[in-house]
Structure 1
């Protein structure tokens, strides 16, 4: 498996340079002991829409004879394999990615229930745990062998079987993406979070609120404007505040359909930390 630095990974994702393998599809009617049952195959468009609407968490893996392949799930749940399917930045481009220690990504193509995945490219960060490194290498080598994908539409939650050229299978569970969960694509905003919280009132309760102001940047990434400091009454999913640390966060803000009374009409999800500074 080739290891690329982060800049190369991003460039490859944008340009779609990962070549897709042209392997045939296994017979979808073949049953493997221990594999999830699947509904009749979707058309390509419907299948792709379903793939991109969810994260796909690996629950179990079997070889061609139905025997368990525990090496792919041995480190779960702390280190689990989650596949993400998304549209690329170029017309017609489609990307599959996962993050184990490094970010792994490659292009994919569908033809009915047949799938071909290009060679995975990777960021280049040393993994502290050798077992994590081995898992990452195994996943990066296995994904380009994918041949077919089938969705169990009547399952709750939905599940998927990914079949490989050696006859082995992965059984994956669907977890809605935030866009699916909230019913909209959301918008990207930047929030500066002050180093200290302040007392505030949330209804009849007294609590501590983050001090937050919105930051705007121009097309060149230069900071242009900052808003006024104010109490932030909600929470930012994925963000853990540390007193004394000032952060600028890139956040996805989603509109919540029919929020409860006195609740925010927005949900905030951390995308990345842009700046971080310890204050005196």
Structure 2
């Protein structure tokens, strides 16, 4: 009887031992062993690429195509064939040129949508009813939050605006003066005399030059000084002179990098006509 009591603790100890390992060193599997499933790969959380608004500011965007949801050309947007509708994006503001009036408003690009704030416009009256209707025609399509797409495939870049009603407008980019000359330029005011005068030009016989002088204004908008009249041996980009009309122009003056030997080192680009008056006839 005493012998049997001594064996009982040994038997209990043998039952509690860990199962032996396999010969290859791996632990033996038991019925209670569970292998955890691999964690799923995390979903990509990379943000969508921001729209390239910097490229918008580098070009004048001129309307070249416009089709409706029926696939037909929207003729109402092409009433000025020689001066197509033009969009300009400067910082956070969009302006529309070559309509009846000048239109503009603050803009943003959210996702793939162009969002435009309340638009303001000048109050010019246009005799042509089709031209008057152009303001409303382009304004409605811009304020409808169209989908915006920018493509730059080597030639001229294109900007597409697609409305939810199926209208699609395509604009082609023309580099701004700042893009072409590589800088912001200097804003100056030039008074242009009513009449041109003969001037000596090495490459253009019988050249007629604009007579200009620079104006400087004070903080109150009053003219502080005017320079001496002098011939301008080059054109002002965007300006067409009408004989007998005196103009004050706000222009951008750019330094031309590496100009040819026979070309000017400065370029003038019209920003706006600040004043215009018909000169009195000489008796």
Distance 1:74 1:191, change over 3 A: closer
- Name the structure 2 match of 1:208: 208
Q: 2:146 and 2:182 mapped to 1: Cα distance?
A: 31
Distance 1:243 1:123, change over 3 A: closer
1:145 alignment partner, SS class: coil
Q: Deviations over 1:111-159 (max 9, x none)?
A: 3433212232222121111011222211111111133211112151111
Match runs of 1:76-91 below 5 Å = 76-87=80-91
Matched pairs, number: 231
1:216 alignment partner, SS class: strand
Q: 1:168 and 1:272 mapped to 2: Cα distance?
A: 32
RMSD: 2.1
- Name the structure 2 match of 1:255: 255
- Name the structure 1 match of 2:130: 131
1:140 alignment partner, SS class: helix
- Name the structure 1 match of 2:95: 97
1:146 alignment partner, SS class: coil
User: Rg larger in 1 or in 2?
Assistant: 2
- Name the structure 2 match of 1:6: none
Contact 1:43 1:113 in 2 (8 A): no
Pick the structure with more strand per residue.
1
- Name the structure 1 match of 2:227: 227
Q: Deviations over 1:179-199 (max 9, x none)?
A: 112211111111122233332
Match runs of 1:51-200 below 5 Å = 51-64=56-69, 67-87=71-91, 94-99=92-97, 100-200=99-199
2:270 alignment partner, SS class: strand
1:105 alignment partner, SS class: strand
The alpha-carbon deviation at position 239 of structure 1 amounts to 2.4
2:179 alignment partner, SS class: helix
Distance 1:64 1:240, change over 3 A: closer
Q: 2:152 and 2:238 mapped to 1: Cα distance?
A: 30
The alpha-carbon deviation at position 248 of structure 1 amounts to 2.2
- Name the structure 2 match of 1:48: 53
**What TM-score results when the alignment is normalised by the length of structure 2?**
0.74
Q: Structure 1 stretches (4+) deviating beyond 4 angstroms?
A: none
Q: 2:244 and 2:61 mapped to 1: Cα distance?
A: 37
The alpha-carbon deviation at position 168 of structure 1 amounts to 2.7
Q: Deviations over 1:58-111 (max 9, x none)?
A: 22223346x124234442423522111112xxxxxx111212011111221113
Q: 1:210 and 1:42 mapped to 2: Cα distance?
A: 49
